[in-house]
């Protein structure tokens, strides 16, 4: 498929017809938008906007989302903006309304059967890759995430534990340990009824980078996605991981930027 065709398919199946990313949350259509709504520890935000949205309609939709966020009482609410969303100055309009942009990421897609993806799954001697299946595994995964990214993993703990309690077959969490210490972790979301599997949260602590851990986690997840019959892997990649993924055969569909609205205290 051509890049534009894959992007259109992604927009239609993964954004306009998005599915809840965990138990206790819902996806709802709100006029020209699709958003996810959950509790304060869940991800709350806009995932899609109508491509025909004009300036006047955008401003009205932004005001409605601020009112919605305020009514929820959550501390923050996100509008996930893609570079091809319309109107072209939607990001400027979000900033003018009080949304704060985070670092942009590159939206990458690759066929699950790409030879480069399925190779390089070997870990250095002494390292162990294990699936996360219980609370102890979640804690190891969260520690690896915190050490790799330097951020608090409280929300991640909540979300992964909720998914494991549901014993869902459409979710996979992994952690790599060295001598029992967590050094890398990653997740995969499998979206039933679509051709996409999403790779999330891949990160390695600084002293273990450059040894193939990230690539091994990608290869493992690609193999599982292929076994389950999915056609494409999708990643929102940071500047650190995007070059690695490009070498593995991923193609950029554009960029995505989180615009976050924080409730005034």
> Strand pairing partners for 48?
34
Same domain, 65 and 130: no
Indicate whether 237 belongs to any domain: no
Q: How confident is the model at residue 5 (pLDDT cuts 50, 70, 90)?
A: very high
For helices 135-149 and 154-165, angle between their N-to-C axes, nearest 10 degrees: 150
Same domain, 123 and 196: yes
What residue numbers bound the domain in which 194 lies?
Answer: 113-230
Handedness of CA 178, 180, 186, 192 (dihedral sign): positive
The pLDDT of residue 116: 85
Q: How confident is the model at residue 108 (pLDDT cuts 50, 70, 90)?
A: very high
Q: Which of 126, 55, 132, 127 is nearest to 94 (CA)?
A: 55
Same domain, 60 and 79: yes
What's 77's domain CATH number?
A: 3.40.630
Same domain, 50 and 159: no
The pLDDT of residue 99: 97
Task: Report, as an integer, the average pLDDT of 180-207.
Answer: 96
Residue 118 has pLDDT above 80, yes or no: no
pLDDT in tens, 214-248: 999 999 999 999 999 999 999 999 998 999 999 99
d(CA 140, CA 160): 12
Q: How confident is the model at residue 40 (pLDDT cuts 50, 70, 90)?
A: confident
Task: Report, as an integer, the average pLDDT of 6-23.
Answer: 94
Same domain, 185 and 158: yes
pLDDT in tens, 127-185: 999 999 999 999 999 999 999 999 999 989 998 998 898 867 899 999 999 999 999 99
Indicate whether 249 belongs to any domain: no
Residue 85 has pLDDT above 70, yes or no: yes
Q: How confident is the model at residue 120 (pLDDT cuts 50, 70, 90)?
A: low
Q: How many separate domains does the chain show?
A: 2
Indicate whether 82 belongs to any domain: yes
SS3 of 71-119: the string is HHCCCEEEEEEECCCCCCCHHHHHHHCCCEECCCEEEEEEECCCHHHHC
What's 170's domain CATH number?
A: 3.40.630.30
The pLDDT of residue 48: 98
């Amino acid at each position: 498929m051509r890049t534009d065709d894959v992007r259109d398919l992604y927009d239609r199946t993964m954004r306009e017809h998005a599915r809840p990313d965990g138990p206790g949350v819902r996806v709802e259509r709100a006029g020209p938008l699709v958003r996810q709504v959950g509790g304060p520890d869940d991800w709350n935000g806009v995932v899609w906007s109508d491509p025909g949205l004009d300036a006047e309609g955008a401003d009205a939709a932004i005001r409605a989302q601020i009112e919605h966020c305020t009514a929820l009482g959550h501390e923050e609410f996100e509008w996930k903006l893609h570079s091809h969303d319309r109107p072209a100055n939607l990001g400027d309009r979000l900033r003018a309304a009080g949304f704060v942009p985070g670092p942009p990421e590159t939206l990458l897609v690759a066929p699950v059967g790409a030879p480069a993806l399925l190779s390089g799954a070997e870990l250095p001697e002494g390292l162990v890759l294990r699936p996360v299946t219980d609370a102890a595994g979640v804690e190891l995964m969260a520690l690896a995430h915190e050490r790799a990214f330097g951020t608090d993993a409280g929300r991640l703990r909540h979300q992964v534990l909720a998914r494991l309690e549901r014993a869902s077959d459409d979710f996979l969490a992994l952690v790599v340990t060295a001598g029992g210490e967590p050094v890398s972790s990653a997740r995969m979301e499998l979206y039933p009824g679509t051709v996409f599997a999403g790779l999330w949260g891949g990160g390695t602590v600084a002293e273990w980078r450059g040894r193939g851990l990230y690539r091994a986690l990608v290869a493992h997840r690609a193999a599982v996605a292929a076994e389950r019959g999915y056609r494409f892997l999708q990643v929102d990649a940071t500047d650190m991981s995007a070059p690695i993924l490009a070498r593995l055969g991923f193609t950029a569909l554009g960029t995505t930027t989180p615009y976050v609205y924080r409730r005034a205290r």
